[in-house]
Amino acid sequence: MATQLKGASQLRTALRRFEPDLAKELQDEVANVLKPIVKKARGFIPSDFTPSHWRGDSKTGKWPIYNATLMRRGIGYKTTPSKPNRRGFSYAASIANKTASGAIFETAGRKNPNGMQKAPKGTPRTNKNFSHSNNPQAGSQFIRALENASPIAQSNTRTGSGRRGRYMKGRLIYRAWAEDGGKTNAAVIKAIEGAAAKFRARVGR
Partner 1 sequence: MATTDLMIGIGAEYKGKAAFNKANKDVLGLGKGVQNLAKAYIGLQGAQKAFRYGQQSLKAFVADDKAARQLAQTVGNLGLAYEATNVENFIQGLERTYAVADDLLRPAMAKLIQVTQSYTKSKEIMTTALNAAAGAGVDLGTAVTDLSQAYVGNLRGLRKYNLGLTQAELATKSFQEIQDLLNKTFTGQASLAAETYAGKMAALTIASSNAQEIIGKGLVDAISNAFGNGDIDKATMQIESMAKAVADIVAGLGTMTGWYSKLFKITSGLGLFDALNNKRNALKLKDTPYDPRSGNMPDMSPAAMKVIQARRKADADAAKRQKELASLAAKQTKALKEQTALAKAKAVLEQSSMVMNMDLIQNTAALMGKVTADETLRLKLQQAILLGNTEQAGNLAQQLLASQIAAMKLSSTNPLGGFTDALKAALAAAQQLRDELAKLGAPKVGIPAPTAPTSVIPEIPKTAANPLGIPSFYGYSGFGQPFLPSATDTSLTATELRIFIDPSAAAYGINAAVVGANANGTASTVNRNGVFSYGS
Q: Of 53 and 98, which has the nearer Cβ to partner 1?
A: 98
Cα–Cα distance, 117 to 137 (Å, whole number): 9
Per-residue buried b or exposed e for 25-35, using 16+ beta carbons within 10 Å of the residue's own CB: bbbebbeebbe
Q: Binding to partner 1 (CB under 8 A): which residues in 78-97?
A: 81-82, 84-97
How far is 61 from 169, CA to CA, in rounded Å? 26
- Which residue from 14, 31, 68, 100 is in contact with partner 1, where contact means CB under 8 A? 100
Compose the 27-56 pattern: x for residues touching partner 1 by CB under 8 A, - for all others: ---x---x----------------------
- Cα 138 off chain centre by: 26
Contact 19, 199 (CB under 8 A): yes
Specify the amino acid at residue 150: S
Does residue 150 interact with partner 1 by CB under 8 A?
Answer: no
Which one of 6-14, 120-128, 138-146, 194-202 is the stretch in contact with partner 1 (CB under 8 A)?
A: 6-14
Who's near 10: CB < 8 A, 6+ residues apart?
Answer: none
Name residues contacting partner 1, limited to 159-198 (CB under 8 A): 167, 170, 173-174, 177, 184-185, 188-189, 192
Sites of contact with partner 1 (CB under 8 A): 1-9, 30, 34, 74, 81-82, 84-100, 102-103, 106-107, 155, 167, 170, 173-174, 177, 184-185, 188-189, 192
